[in-house]
Each structure stands twice: as structure tokens, then as C-alpha cells.
């Protein structure tokens, strides 16, 4: 019997997830169907419950429903609790389990696809929204030398740091963009949505250390952050690998099979 999965979002037509999961399913011989479902902005829960009643086995959740999915879940994984958001739902007999695979996807993209080790590195995380929150714990687990969070609204970065103090063993701190002057980093991750508005971040010169990896979470366009990093001599990556890797992690959670992401990423990049 074919198992049914879906991604819920609004808008959702642009989502690459149906294509990615179809490629994973074909590659691993899994009998499953994966569709995109446009949930009304005020009707996420109803949409998901309808899908469960119709026999759905699991779902991904994208903007703007990740916090609603967190509230809907009756059980949460440790990484979903840390992220405060859910991007993967598993429908069990007596539970709706909420998970978050975004952070694992980012770390796996860096390690596997980009060959970049985070251990001991000076890491700068730009942004303090949902995407930033979701990657803090997975980054800390990789034992960087330091992790600095900088955000336009400094209070939000401070709050984020406070909520991870127990896991951070003294290596986590926050900063304003302007007070980053004079510091340099081996890894700079842009988890702001500035690129969506073609906005430039007010970053001081010199933050990209020699050999730095500049990671833009956004994908599908070249952002001002990417241009700036490239000009400074940094190696630049976009978030397409993270997208594919978070999908692979969700696929693994649902099916117990880890897909080979390399050909899928190659196919998406070629398109
Ligand atoms: P949120 O809306 O939760 O947070 C947005 C963040 O961006 C905030 O920190 C906000 O700062 C900051 N920001 C927005 N505009 C500007 C600007 N002009 N200058 C400086 N800072 C700005 O968004 P998300 O955290 O959900 O998403 C962030 C990015 O990550 C998006 O581009 C999204 O596409 C990408 N993403 C990629 C994924 C992938 O798989 N590749 C997965 C998830 C997200 P402030 O607090 O001051 O408002």
C-alpha cells in the first residue's frame, strides 16, 4: 500500500519538497506519495487533522506554520523543543510527534557536501529568528571554539543566547552588528531573511577570516551577503544543500532509510 506524506505551507506551490522526496523514494524503492498542501492561514490544524484522517503517515511543515505545528504536536523531540518549532510531523497511532530536522540538515550539508568541520571554529550566526534558533543546538553539539549570535534587534539575540546557556559551556555570546568590528570568524552563517528583500547587512570589514566559509541559508538567488563574502575572499555556499539534507533527515525519520543526497542535490542544481 502506498504511504502518503505532504508538506503544509502558505504559500507552498514553490516548494521543492515534493520533488526532493519523489527522488528519494524512487532511489530507495519506497512506496510513497508526497504532495504539497496549501493550508489556509487560519486552518493549519484542521488541514493536518483532515490529512491524518485520510491516512497520512507524516508531514513536513514550512512557513508560516512551524510554530503552529509545535503547538499541535502531542510529543516533541529534544531538537524540536530546542528549536521552538516543528518542520517534521510523524503520525503515530496515539500521538502526533513533532521533530525539527533543519539544524541537522545544516550541519550535515557543511560536513558531508562542503567538507567543512565545525570543531574548534569561530562561528558567527547572523539572525535570531526561527531558522537561527533551530540551528543553535546542532551547532553547539559540533563543539565550535566559539559561537556568536548577532541580530538587528539585539534583544532577540540576547534572549536566544540566554535560552541555550545551559548547553553552551561558556562558548556562546551575542553581539550587535556594529560591535563585530575587529573580530573575524571561520564560519559565518546568514540566518536572516535580509536576502529576500535584497537588503544588505551592516557588517564591518574583516569578519571573514582567511579560509572562511560564508553560508547563506537562503537559496535560489545570489544575495548581497554572498557577494560581500565572495569579495572578501570567503568560500560561499547557499542553503540548497541544507534544504535537501533536512528533507533527507525527515525521510530517514519516517522510513528508516537514509537517501543518497548527492545525486538529488546535483539534479536540483542542474535545473
Ligand atoms: P524569521 O522571520 O523568523 O527571522 C528573520 C530574521 O532576519 C530576524 O533575525 C530578522 O531580524 C532578520 N532580518 C530580516 N530582515 C533583515 C534586514 N533587512 N537586516 C537585518 N536583519 C534582518 O525568518 P526565518 O528565521 O524563518 O528564516 C530566515 C532565513 O532562513 C530565510 O531567508 C529563510 O528562507 C532561510 N531558511 C532556509 C532554510 C533552508 O533549508 N535552506 C530553512 C529555514 C529557513 P529582526 O529580529 O531584527 O527582525
Given a cut of 90, is residue 23 above it in pLDDT? yes
Instruction: Quote the ipTM score.
Output: 0.98
Residues placed in the known binding site: 15-17, 62, 87, 102, 127-131, 217, 219, 239, 246
Q: What is the mean pLDDT of residues 116-128?
A: 97
Mean pLDDT over the full length of the chain: 96
Residue 215 has pLDDT above 70, yes or no: yes
66 given a catalytic annotation: yes
Distance (Å) from CA 184 to ligand 1 centroid = 22
* Residue 217 confidence (pLDDT): 97
pLDDT band, residue 59 (cuts 50/70/90): very high
* Average pLDDT for 183-200: 95
Query: Judging by beta carbons within 10 Å of its beta carbon (0-12, 13-18, 19+), is residue 224 exposed, middle or buried?
Result: middle
pLDDT digits (tens, 9 = 90+) for 131-176: 999 999 999 999 999 999 999 999 999 999 999 988 888 899 999 9
Tens digit of each residue's pLDDT (9 = 90 or more) over 66-90: 999 999 999 999 999 999 999 999 9
- Tell me if the domain spanning 103-238 has CATH number 3.30.56.10: no
Same fold? 3-100+242-270, 103-238: yes
Average pLDDT, stretch 229-253? 98
Q: How far is the CA of 219 from the centre of ligand 1 (A)?
A: 12
- Residue 269's pLDDT is 93
The whole-angstrom separation of Cα 191 and Cα 182 is 21
63 pLDDT above the threshold of 80: yes
Ligand 1 neighbours, Cβ below 6 Å, are 102, 127-132, 151-153, 156, 191-197, 199, 201, 217-219, 239, 242-243, 246
Q: What is the pLDDT of residue 271?
A: 61
pLDDT of residue 113: 96
Cell of 16: 521543492
pLDDT at 242: 98
The full set of domain ranges for the chain reads 3-100+242-270, 103-238
Q: What share of the chain is helix, strand, coil (3-state, %, to 5)?
A: 40, 20, 35
- pLDDT tens string 252-271: 999 999 999 999 999 999 86
In this structure, the number of other CB atoms found within 10 A of the CB of residue 236 comes to 21
Nearest to 26 by CA among 254, 260, 269, 271: 260
Which residues neighbour 164 within 8 Å (Cβ) at sequence distance 6 or greater? 82, 136, 137, 140, 172
- CATH assignment, 3-100+242-270: 3.40.50.10860
CB-based contacts of 4: which residues, under 8 Å, 6+ apart?
Answer: 32, 33, 34, 35, 51, 54, 55, 56, 57
The full length of the chain comes to: 271
Amino acid at each position: 500500500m502506498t504511504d502518503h506524506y505532504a508538506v503544509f505551507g502558505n504559500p507552498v506551490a514553490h516548494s521543492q519538497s515534493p520533488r526532493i522526496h519523489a527522488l528519494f523514494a524512487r532511489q530507495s524503492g519506497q512506496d510513497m506519495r508526497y504532495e504539497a498542501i496549501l493550508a489556509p492561514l487560519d486552518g493549519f490544524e484542521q488541514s493536518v487533522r483532515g490529512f491524518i484522517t485520510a491516512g497520512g503517515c507524516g508531514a513536513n511543515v514550512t512557513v508560516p506554520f512551524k510554530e503552529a505545528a509545535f503547538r499541535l504536536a502531542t510529543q516533541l523531540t529534544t531538537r524540536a523543543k530546542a528549536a521552538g518549532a516543528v518542520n517534521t510531523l510523524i503520525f503515530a497511532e496515539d500521538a502526533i510527534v513533532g521533530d525539527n530536522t533543519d539544524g541537522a540538515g545544516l550541519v550535515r550539508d557543511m560536513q558531508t557536501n562542503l567538507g567543512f568541520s565545525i570543531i574548534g571554529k569561530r562561528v558567527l550566526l547572523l539572525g535570531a529568528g526561527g531558522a537561527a534558533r533551530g540551528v543553535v543546538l546542532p551547532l553547539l553539539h559540533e563543539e565550535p571554539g566559539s559561537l556568536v549570535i548577532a541580530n538587528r534587534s539585539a534583544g532577540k539575540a540576547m534572549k536566544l543566547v540566554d535560552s541555550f546557556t545551559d548547553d553552551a559551556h561558556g562558548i556562546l555570546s551575542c553581539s550587535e552588528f556594529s560591535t563585530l568590528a575587529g573580530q573575524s570568524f571561520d564560519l559565518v552563517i546568514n540566518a536572516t531573511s535580509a536576502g529576500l528583500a535584497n537588503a544588505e547587512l551592516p557588517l564591518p570589514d574583516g569578519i571573514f577570516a582567511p579560509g572562511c566559509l560564508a553560508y547563506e541559508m537562503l537559496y535560489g538567488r545570489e544575495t548581497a551577503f554572498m557577494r560581500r563574502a565572495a569579495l572578501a575572499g570567503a568560500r560561499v555556499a547557499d542553503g540548497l544543500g541544507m534544504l535537501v539534507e533536512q528533507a533527507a533527515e525527515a525521510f530517514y525519520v519516517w522510513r528508516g532509510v537514509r537517501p543518497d543526497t548527492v545525486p538529488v542535490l546535483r539534479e536540483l542544481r542542474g535545473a
